[in-house]
Amino acid sequence: MSILEVQGVNKRFGGLAALDDVNLSVRENTIHAIIGPNGAGKSTLLNCLVGKLIPDSGTVTFGGRSLIGLKPYEINQLGVSRVFQTPEVFSDLTILENLMIPALASRDGAFKLSPFKYLGKEADIRYQSERILEDVGLIDQRHLLASSMSRGNKRRLEMAMCLVQSPKLLLLDEPTAGMSRADTNNTIELLRTISEAHNITFVVIEHDMHVVFSLADRISVLSQGHVIVEDDPQNIKGHPKVQEAYLGTVESEG
């Protein structure tokens, strides 16, 4: 069953058609990758899914409900979370505190500054946060300051900050950008573990074909604002339209 449906979405910036009649169907509990050359429209599409941009025309539905015109926080409350290219964490708080903030915000329906003072009293929230830290492999470091973390671990923490809000759909914008091969492989493992342990659907924008073909159940290829192919991974590799879009620059997995 499809959880996210994009139909006939157009988005122009002046004379440029950044998205041109884009269709996308994302099945529940799958990892759906969106790939395409630089400037293809991937980020624009993601921004249309989270309410940061409003399409000029077309429909976006999540769980059967239209997202068009909803504010980013309203879309987030429906269960759509986004992990950014550069991890955004509170550097002066511990790893555990970083997680308790969104957990509290999710429970109380709003982000308030006052919870900082009361974190120590929130036993349930602490328990819930610690379980998520176990899932992402950060439990032993929970009392360290976030500023001391490696980029790979910051990515884990940011993922945990989304997971603690129990999202149904997680949007990842180049989750391994700038990472070493070792951190990239750890992130692939982490995403696999999360997708198996939690009932979460993933939409992943990614340039690294090793990551794409290691993870994706389904791939949409964008080129010049248009989805030129949507298919299973085995049919994407070597697809003439995909080769053409990348002008032969698609990395091979080897």
Residues in contact with ligand ATP, shown as a per-residue x/- string from 26 to 65 under the rule CB under 6 A: ----------x-xxxxxxx---------------------
- Cβ 238 to ligand ATP, closest distance in Å? 22
Nearer to ligand ATP, 42 or 154 (CB): 42
Q: Shortest Cβ distance from residue 223 to ligand ATP (Å)?
A: 9
CB burial of 70-83 (b: ≥16 within 10 Å; e: otherwise) equals: beeeebbeebbbbb
Q: Is position 233 an interface residue for ligand ATP (rule: CB under 6 A)? A: no
Helices (H), the chain: 42-49, 72-77, 95-108, 115-118, 123-135, 151-163, 181-197, 209-215, 233-236, 240-246
Structure tokens belonging to residue 51: 């309410």
Q: How far is the CB of 46 from ligand ATP (least distance, A)?
A: 8
When binding is defined by CB under 6 A, the residue of 13, 73, 111, 118 that contacts ligand ATP is 13
Verify binding: residue 85, ligand ATP, rule CB under 6 A: no
Is residue 80 within a helix (H) or strand (E), and if so which, with residue range? strand 80-83
Residue 16 binds ligand ATP, judged by CB under 6 A:
yes
CA distances from 231 to 28, 116, 120, 169, 171 (A): 16, 46, 49, 20, 19
**What residue has token string 């157009």?**
10
In this complex, which beta carbon is closest to ligand ATP, that of residue 42 or of residue 156? Answer: 42
Burial of 182 (0-12, 13-18, 19+ CB in 10 A): exposed
Nearer Cβ to ligand ATP, position 149 or 216?
Answer: 216
In whole angstroms, how close is the CB of 52 to ligand ATP at the nearest point? 10
Q: Which is nearer to ligand ATP, 14 or 64 (CB)?
A: 14
Q: Residues in the site for ligand ATP, rule: CB under 6 A? A: 13, 16, 18, 36, 38-44
